[in-house]
Amino acid sequence: MNKKLLYSILFMLVFTACAQQDMAELDYIFYDRMLEEYLLTGFCVDVDDGEACDIEESPLTENLKGVCCGGKCVLGVSNCYQIPPEDQEPAVNIIKKLLCFNRKENEVCVLTDKKTGKNLEGKCCDGMCYFTLNSCDELITGREPLNMSSPREPTPEAMEVSVDELKEKIKILSCLGIPDNSKCEIPENLAREYNLWGVCCDEKCCFRVDVCTDKPTDDKDDNGAAFLILLLFGLIVFLVFIVFLLLIYRFIRKKKTPKPEITPSSDYQLELIRLNDEKKSIEEMIKLAQFKFHKRKLDEESFREIVRDQQKKLIEIEANIKDIERRITKIEEKQI
């Protein structure tokens, strides 16, 4: 009986230890300090030192008036030489109330970054916005409003979450206002207990890496690139289609065009025409020589020499004509 009781106690202790190991506390005081710094810096984007902080007007922003000094908004002062009042309410508390003004419990609250346009969502709990919460039930009750001037105490606003949920929340909260490839801001106790460290990439913490690798691109850029690729592909298809049509048209036209009918005797016919023309030219030259001889414009010796030479050429041409006519006759007989 004592052994069974001992085993039961040991089992309960092991189970309790495992259960506690799977749970962790998310300290909102630590991250509210980061959010305070993030907001005060955001109020002075593109604002010169000594000028009023860029804060939107609302019923709850009376206590958020101040001036920009060194790129950070100093509340409750009219110039950078004044000392801020000690009882100044933290800007993060005012913003949390402002985001949940006239909102119901568990209603979504959103903080938009003016510089990047990205949103940080949370839930309205007791009139204040708590970021990364899915429900007000996740937040431990009995919390007090954050007093930024007081030293860090045990976590009255700590939220009990699983380790996996803790990592997801730290990804967002640990990179508020921190540029890419800079170290994530993680509480020392969490970093030591769960070995959490890394760098901020696209406003989220990438654990256990020293530099951002594959930084996701904007959806609009992806859509623009996809549209250009699609347009280029369509243009290529259109050009290929045009070339294909031209080839078909050329093939059809070539097929329909009648080829000139060439017979074997065509060359002989052309040669025959040339020889007949040359024969007529020689006969006319002989007649011209006879005419000049009768008119006494050409002596007898020259006349005889011209006639002899031209008649010799005439005989050769007539022989060639007869030979070609004989060949043409044979070709035509074969075709019949």
Query: What tens digit of pLDDT does each residue of 19-39 get?
Result: 444 566 666 677 777 788 888
Do 179 and 105 reside in the same domain of the chain? yes
117 domain-assigned:
yes
122 and 109 Cβ atoms separated by less than 8 Å: yes
Do 161 and 95 reside in the same domain of the chain? yes
17 domain-assigned:
no
**Residues 264-285: what's their mean pLDDT?**
85
* The pLDDT of residue 135 is above 60: yes
Phi, psi of 123 (to 5 degrees): -130, 145
Do 92 and 206 reside in the same domain of the chain? yes
108 domain-assigned:
yes
**Which range of residues forms the domain containing residue 64?**
22-220
* The pLDDT of residue 215 is above 60: no
**Number of domains composing the chain:** 2
pLDDT band of residue 242 (cuts 50, 70, 90) is very high
The token duo for 213 is 């690798």
184 domain-assigned:
yes
Q: Which long-range contacts (CB under 8 A, 24 or more apart) does 142-145 make?
A: 145/93
52 and 222 Cβ atoms separated by less than 8 Å: no
Do 90 and 198 reside in the same domain of the chain? yes
Do 43 and 192 reside in the same domain of the chain? yes
pLDDT band of residue 146 (cuts 50, 70, 90) is very low
| 10-24, 55-69, 250-264, 304-318: least confidently modelled range | 10-24
Give this prediction's pTM.
Answer: 0.46
* The pLDDT of residue 254 is above 60: yes
Q: What is the rounded average pLDDT for all residues in the chain?
A: 77
73 domain-assigned:
yes
Query: Which of 155, 190, 220 is the endpoint of a domain?
Result: 220
Higher pLDDT among residues 60 and 281, named by residue:
281
Do 184 and 281 reside in the same domain of the chain? no
Do 200 and 69 reside in the same domain of the chain? yes
pLDDT band of residue 158 (cuts 50, 70, 90) is low
